[in-house]
Structure 1
C-alpha cells in the first residue's frame, strides 16, 4: 500500500517510520517534514539520516513550512532532545530534499496514487492544511487518512486540555477537520479521517522490558535501560537501529519520569503508523470534531460532538479502544527482523 508520512521527527516519529519501512504491506512514497518537535529543517535532516540508517532506497523527503499558519512556532526539545532524537546520533548522508515543499508533496503523491494513497500525519497539521488549499479534492484522492492528535474527553499533555500537535498549530487542525467534513460528511463514513488522541495513545507505553524484547528480536545485545542508570548513559547495543532506539528512548523515558508518569514512553506515532496499515487494530466512534481557537483556558482543545448537538455531519472516526499487547507484538515482529537485516542481510 502506498503511504505518505507527514512527521515532525521526534523520537516516536522515528519509530513510526521504522515500523512503516519494516512492514511488507507498506510502500513509503514520500515523507513530509513538519515543524513541531523540532524546527522543520532539523526534522528534514532527521528524516534523511533515518533513511540512511534504515538502508532504504531513494524516498522523497520534502521540507515543510517553517512556522504554523498564524502563530509562532513552539518546539519540544525538552521532550525529544536538542535535535529531536534524544541522545542518539544518526549517520551522515548525502541524500537531499525534493525541490518542492511538503504541501506540494502531499498533492503530488495523492495524484500519483489516486484512491490508493494512505496519508499518515503524526505532527502538527500545517502542511496538510496547506496541501488542502492547493488541492481541495485531496480527501477524495486518498484511500485513508490517519491523524495522531488531540485528546478526547481526556487531559492534555501541553496545556490542561490540549495535546501537543494540535496546540502547535490549532488553526491548521481546525481547517483540516472543516475541509474534510465538507468533502465527505455522512455520505462516506469509511473515508472519514481516523483520529488517534491521547485518550488512546497513552495506553501504549514502551518500557525497558519491551525494548529488551525488541533488541532480542533484532539479534542484538541490549543495554537493559533502568531508572537507576546515570542520565545520558549511552547504548551498548550491537545493532545500529537498536542503539539509536535505546539512546533516543532513554531521553524520552527520562522526560516521562520527570513528569511523574514513570520510566516509560508513550508511543503515540508508532501506533498511528500501525493503524494506517491496519485500521482494525483500534475501535472507533464517529463524531464531529472541532478545535477551540479563542478560549482563554482551552485554546487548542479538540472538542468532539458525540451526540450531534451541533447538527453537523461527522468528520472523524475517533479511536476509543486498543490492545497495547497486540500492538507491541506486531511492532516487535516487524521491526525486530528489520533491524536484524541491517547487520545480517541474509537473515529472513
Structure 2
C-alpha cells in the first residue's frame, strides 16, 4: 500500500480532522507544529498523557506551542497521569526537564481544558463518526481507557495512526522494546486486541522504529528550516558548545532549534551521531497523507509478563498464530521527501508568524 497526497496546481488538499494524543516531547513538538502548518488540517483537540514528562507538563508544552503558532483556541486536555498497571517512568534525560530540550516558552495564557482526555476522545468521536483520524505519538494509555468506555471507537474513527513498537529491530528503551510501548505495555496490548478482526482499512497504521529512525534530522535540515522561514540559515553544529541558544529572528525557528539541539546532543552522547530521530513528525506526515510509505498487514501483540522482554512488540506477518490482522505496519518510507515536506510547511508557518508579529495572548 502506498499513500501520498501530492500537491496539484489549483487543487486544494482535502480537509483532514485530527485528534492528537501526545507526551510532548521534542519530536511530538515538531509533529504538532507541522500539523498546525497545514492549512487543510483541523486539529480537533490535543489530549495529553504522561510519558516523556508528566501529563501536566505535556499540556503546558502544548498550550505554549499553540500560542507560539498563533492557534491558542485548540482544546488541550489532560488524561492519564500514570500507566495502567506499572509505575510511570519519564525520560527527562532525552527531552529535557520540561520535555522541550533547551527551549524556554512563556507560560501560556490559555488554560487546560476541564474535560478529561478520555471524555474528549469519546465525545468528539461519537459526535463526528467517520470524520476524525486519531494520531497517538505517546503511550497508548488514554486511548486504551477510551476504548474501555467506548468499544466502538475503532469503527467510529476514520483511522488511527500510532507511533510505537519495533519489529525485528533493536528497541530504543530495552534491547527489544520501543519507548512509547514500554511506558505502558498493558495499554498497547489492549489497543491492538480491540482492533483484531476489523477490515483492513480500519486497522491502525503503526509507525515503528525500523522506519521512524530513518527520519534522521541533521544540521543541514535546521539550516534549511531557517532559510525557508526567511530568517537566514539556522546553524546547529556539532563543534558548537552544548546548550548554545538560537538567535534566530523567527521565534518558532528558535524554539524548535533549541529543542532539537538538546535532542542531537542526547543522540551523540549515546553513540548515534549528531542527529535527531523525528519519529512523531513522520507519523504526523503519514496521518495526513503527505509522505509516501508502504505498509504490511500483521497480527501484533505485546509482551507484558516477562521482566526480560516486557514492552516487546511481536508481529505475525504469516498467520502462524491463526489470528486475523490487527495492524498495518509501515514497511518503507522516504526520509528525503518527508524532510522536504516538514521544512517547506513548517518554514512557511514560521515565515507567516514573523510577518504577523507576536501572537496575541489568549
If the TM-score is normalised by the length of the shorter chain, which range does it land in?
Answer: over 0.9
Give me the CA root mean square deviation.
1.2
Is this contact kept in 1: 2:222–2:234, CA < 8 A? no
Give the Å deviation of 1:239: 0.2
Specify the SS of the correspondent of 1:285: strand
Specify the SS of the correspondent of 1:344: helix
Is this contact kept in 2: 1:52–1:91, CA < 8 A? no
User: In 2, Cα distance between the equivalents of 1:73 and 1:154?
Assistant: 25
Query: Deviations 1:296-332 (Å, cap 9, x if unpaired)?
Result: 3211000000111111010000001001001011111
Specify the SS of the correspondent of 2:100: coil
Give the Å deviation of 1:221: 3.0
Q: What residue is the counterpart of 2:69 in the other structure? A: 54
The structure 1 residue matched to 2:216, chosen from 205, 210, 221, is: 205
The structure 2 residue matched to 1:78, chosen from 93, 100, 105, is: 93
Q: What residue is the counterpart of 1:282 in the other structure? A: 293
Q: Does 1:244 align with 2:267?
A: no
Distance 1:66 1:250, change over 3 A: same
Is this contact kept in 2: 1:167–1:300, CA < 8 A? yes
Give the Å deviation of 1:24: 1.7
User: In 2, Cα distance between the equivalents of 1:109 and 1:281?
Assistant: 29
Specify the SS of the correspondent of 2:241: coil
Q: What residue is the counterpart of 1:310 in the other structure? A: 321
Specify the SS of the correspondent of 2:111: coil
Normalising by structure 2, we get a TM-score of 0.93
Query: Deviations 1:70-122 (Å, cap 9, x if unpaired)?
Result: 11100010000000000001132221122111111111221222101010000
The structure 1 residue matched to 2:147, chosen from 95, 114, 132, is: 132
User: In 2, Cα distance between the equivalents of 1:81 and 1:279?
Assistant: 29
Give the Å deviation of 1:180: 1.6
Q: What residue is the counterpart of 1:151 in the other structure? A: 166
Q: What residue is the counterpart of 2:180 in the other structure? A: 165
Is this contact kept in 1: 2:225–2:234, CA < 8 A? no
Give the Å deviation of 1:149: 0.2
Structure 2 unaligned segments of length 5 or more: list them.
1-15, 358-362
Q: What residue is the counterpart of 2:123 in the other structure? A: 108
Specify the SS of the correspondent of 2:146: helix
Is this contact kept in 2: 1:146–1:193, CA < 8 A? yes
The structure 2 residue matched to 1:299, chosen from 304, 310, 318, is: 310
Distance 1:86 1:57, change over 3 A: closer
Moved more, 149-158 or 92-101: 92-101
Specify the SS of the correspondent of 1:118: strand
Structure 1 unaligned segments of length 5 or more: list them.
none
Q: What residue is the counterpart of 2:232 in the other structure? A: 221
User: In 1, Cα distance between the equivalents of 2:118 and 2:179?
Assistant: 21
User: In 2, Cα distance between the equivalents of 1:31 and 1:236?
Assistant: 30
